[in-house]
């Protein structure tokens, strides 16, 4: 813990654009700021029902509730009337969430204006370091907003990483009984241990081709898919509804549909698998902390803007791998993201599976390297303290 901010009040605003990442990132950060730094955190969220999917304690119809030390507030369309004293010391808008105008006016009326931060999206592009902590004086009101950019380099805001995360992960990964929970019972004993894969992707991922590869690869693979992921492809592959509990076998591949699990269990799932397919932002980061080989399905953007982001990350992630392995990984990630084709007779897929053991060791080194930088919450708290 960098510093104790006990008693300081903080509002974090989360607008759910789509999927789970906006809620997932804001929820993780809110808990950490409350639990590790002692902030009195209010998380304003416009769709608590989305948060409930990854945190079942949330009651979506509550206007206010306290969960894991965080006051979770429904962010209504007609925002409540606030007095300047109701405004906290720190205001964070998640991913450019547009704050209610009346609220911003009250911010400006406080004797000491709150620290106002826009938590940005994650990218490995080099401009991120230059824009991190940039001040944006507002032309319409005497307030300044600061951009806080997560990132992979030392000159960025870092990545969310809770205290003790690596110890918890290591304890889990050395205890096979937890991992066995994710395996079909007949495969749970060590001798028959299959390759365990988790699959979280957007609907356009070439899942069919991946399953063909897995089904013909010569060793047992169990692929765990959270319910709701790639449903159409799964239904046509399995010829049955893709509900939690469904299991299907083809060649060497067993597909198991899991229910969506709470965030902490999702980490355990990633820690347990030999290969994780992840997407968006938060699961992408958690896969790196899992220190296991992973494949990222990047959130698609207009005009292929995501291609630049994908390359920026690959360039830094692959820099420490032997050239041939780096090429195999890049090719596989490209195909998964629709750049080039993925097909089961493409030998790159087999090569990728062959190099998994060395990617596993590389994943540990990569996680250690990233953890040399300050984590996002500690950097944020340090910055807040420089302004107050
Ligand atoms: O769901 P995502 O695709 O989310 C986002 C949004 O699309 C967002 O608009 C976009 O800007 C952002 O990606 C880049 O993927 P992400 O970010 O990985 O979020 C998923 C969250 O759900 C993450 O916190 C992990 C959590 N989760 C669980 O808790 N349990 C589960 O079973 C699964 C599959 C995920």
For 64-115, the pLDDT digits (tens) are 999 999 999 999 999 999 999 999 999 999 999 999 999 999 999 999 999 9
Distance CA 126, CA 26 (A): 24
Q: Closest Cα to residue 352, out of 176, 182, 209, 201?
A: 209
Q: Which CATH architecture has domain 165-370?
A: 3-Layer(aba) Sandwich (3.40)
Q: Are 48 and 62 in contact (CB under 8 A)?
A: yes
Token pair belonging to 205: 């991922």
> Based on the number of CB atoms within 10 Å of its own CB, is 236 exposed (0-12), middle (13-18) or buried (19 or more)?
exposed
Distance (Å) of CA 336 to CA 206, 275, 309: 6, 14, 15
The finding on whether 123 has its CB within 6 A of some atom of ligand 1 is: no
Q: What percent of the chain has pLDDT over 90?
A: 90
What's the CA-to-centroid distance between 115 and ligand 1, angstroms? 27
| pLDDT score for 273 | 97
Q: How wide is the angle at C-alpha 268 spanned by C-alphas 257 and 357, nearest 5°?
A: 90
| Number of continuous H segments (helices) and E segments (strands) in the chain | 15, 14
Question: Cβ of 355: how many Cβ atoms within 10 Å?
Answer: 19
Per-residue model confidence as pLDDT tens digits over 93-106: 999 999 999 999 99
Cα 123 to ligand 1 centre (Å): 16
**Can you give the pTM of this predicted structure?**
0.97
Q: What is the pLDDT of residues 178-210, one digit of tens each?
A: 888 888 777 777 667 899 999 999 999 999 999
Cβ of 299 closer than 6 Å to ligand 1, yes or no, is: yes
pLDDT at 3 > cutoff 80:
no
Nearest Cα residue to atom 18 of ligand 1? 283
Residue nearest to atom 3 of ligand 1 (CA): 280
Q: How many CA atoms are closer than 13 Å to the CA of 250, on its beta-carbon side?
A: 17
Range in 39-48, 321-330, 336-345, 367-376 the model is least confident about: 336-345
CA–CA gap between residue 282 and residue 292 (Å, rounded) = 16
- Of 122, 258, 280, 306, the one to substitute when testing ligand 1's pocket (max ligand atoms within 8 A of C-beta) is 280
Cβ atoms within 10 Å of 62's Cβ, excluding its own: 13
Test site for ligand 1: of 282, 290, 298, 306, most ligand atoms within 8 A of the Cβ? 282
Mean pLDDT, the chain, whole residue set: 95
Write down the pLDDT at residue 76.
96
**Answer CATH for 3-160+373-387 from 3.40.50, 3.30.70, 3.30.1490, 1.10.3470:** 3.40.50
Rounded to the nearest angstrom, the distance between the alpha carbon of 361 and the centre of ligand 1 is 26
Pair 341, 335: CB distance under 8 Å: yes
The contacts of residue 117 (CB under 8 Å, 6+ apart) are 90, 91, 92, 93, 145, 146, 147, 148, 380, 383, 384
Ligand 1 lined by 267 (C-beta under 6 Å)? no
Q: What pLDDT does residue 4 have?
A: 64
The pLDDT score that the predictor gives to residue 80 is 94
Protein residue whose Cα sits closest to atom 28 of ligand 1: 263
Whether the per-residue pLDDT at 169 is higher than 60: the answer is yes
Q: Which atom of ligand 1 has the smallest separation from the CA of 278?
A: 18
24 lines ligand 1 (CB under 6 A): yes
State the chain's maximal CA–CA distance in angstroms.
69
pLDDT of 13 > 80? The answer is: yes
Report whether 77 contacts 44 (CB < 8 A): no
Contact 279, 260 (CB under 8 A): no
Give distance in angstroms: CA of 267 to centre of ligand 1: 12
Please indicate whether the domains covering 3-160+373-387 and 165-370 agree at the CATH topology level. Answer: yes
The confidence score (pLDDT) of residue 212 equals: 95
Q: Which pair of tokens denotes residue 40?
A: 């009195």
Is the CB–ligand 1 distance for residue 283 below 6 Å?
yes
For range 361-388, the mean pLDDT: 97
- Among protein residues, the one whose CA lies closest to atom 33 of ligand 1: 260
Q: Is 33 helix (H, G, I), strand (E, B) or coil?
A: helix
- Give the residue numbers marked as catalytic: 22, 281
Can you state the percent helix, strand and coil of the chain, rounding each to 5? 40, 20, 40
User: Which atom of ligand 1 has the smallest separation from the CA of 260?
Assistant: 32
Query: What's the 106 CA to ligand 1 centre distance in angstroms?
Result: 33
Backbone angles phi, psi at 94, to 5 degrees: -80, 125
The pLDDT of 240-256, averaged and rounded, is 96
Residue 264 has pLDDT above 50, yes or no: yes
What tens digit of pLDDT does each residue of 293-304 get? 999 999 999 988
Residue 7, Ramachandran bin (φ over 0: left; ψ between -120 and 50: alpha; else beta) = left
350 with 213: CB under 8 angstroms? yes
Residue 1's pLDDT band, with cuts at 50, 70 and 90, is very low
Residues paired with residue 117 on neighbouring β-strands, in sequence order: 92, 146
Q: What tokens were used for 377?
A: 């919450």
Report domain extents, the chain. Answer: 3-160+373-387, 165-370
Average pLDDT on 216-241 reads 95
Residue from 14, 15, 24 whose mutation best tests the ligand 1 pocket (most atoms within 8 A of CB) = 24
For ligand 1, atom 15, the nearest C-alpha belongs to 280
Q: Does the structure show a pLDDT above 50 at 371?
A: yes
């Amino acid at each position: 813990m960098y510093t104790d901010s006990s008693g300081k009040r903080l509002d974090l605003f989360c607008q759910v654009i789509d999927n789970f990442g906006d809620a997932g990132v804001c929820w993780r950060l809110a808990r950490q700021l409350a639990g590790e730094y002692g902030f009195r955190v209010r998380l304003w969220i416009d769709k608590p029902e989305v948060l409930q999917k990854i945190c079942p304690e949330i009651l979506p119809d509550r206007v206010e509730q306290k969960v894991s030390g965080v006051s979770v507030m429904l962010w209504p369309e007609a925002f409540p009337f606030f007095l300047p004293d109701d405004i906290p010391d720190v205001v964070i808008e998640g991913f450019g969430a547009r704050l209610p105008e009346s609220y911003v006016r009250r911010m400006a009326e406080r004797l000491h204006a709150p620290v106002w931060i826009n938590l940005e999206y994650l990218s490995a592009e080099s401009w991120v370091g230059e824009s991190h902590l940039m001040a944006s004086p507002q032309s319409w009101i005497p307030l300044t907003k600061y951009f806080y950019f997560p990132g992979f380099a030392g000159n960025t805001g870092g990545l969310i990483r809770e205290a003790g995360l690596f110890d918890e992960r290591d304890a889990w990964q050395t205890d096979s009984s937890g991992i066995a929970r994710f395996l079909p019972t007949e495969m749970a004993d060590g001798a028959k241990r299959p390759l365990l894969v988790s699959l979280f992707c957007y609907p356009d991922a070439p899942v069919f081709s991946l399953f063909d590869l897995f089904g013909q690869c010569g060793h047992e693979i169990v692929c765990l898919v959270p319910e709701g992921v790639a449903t159409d492809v799964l239904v046509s592959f399995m010829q049955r509804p893709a509900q939690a509990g469904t299991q299907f076998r083809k060649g060497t591949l067993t597909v198991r549909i899991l229910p969506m699990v709470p965030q902490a269990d999702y980490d355990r799932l990633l820690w347990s698998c030999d290969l994780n397919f992840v997407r968006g932002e938060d699961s992408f980061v958690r896969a790196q902390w899992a220190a296991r080989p992973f494949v990222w399905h990047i959130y698609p953007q207009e005009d292929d803007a995501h291609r630049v982001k994908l390359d920026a990350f690959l360039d830094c992630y692959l820099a420490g791998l032997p050239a041939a392995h780096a090429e195999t990984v890049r090719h596989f990630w490209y195909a998964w993201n629709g750049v080039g084709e993925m097909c089961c007779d493409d030998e790159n897929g087999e090569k990728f599976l062959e190099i998994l053991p060395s990617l596993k060791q590389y994943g540990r080194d990569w996680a250690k390297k990233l953890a040399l930088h300050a984590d996002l919450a500690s950097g944020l708290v340090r910055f807040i303290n420089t302004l107050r």
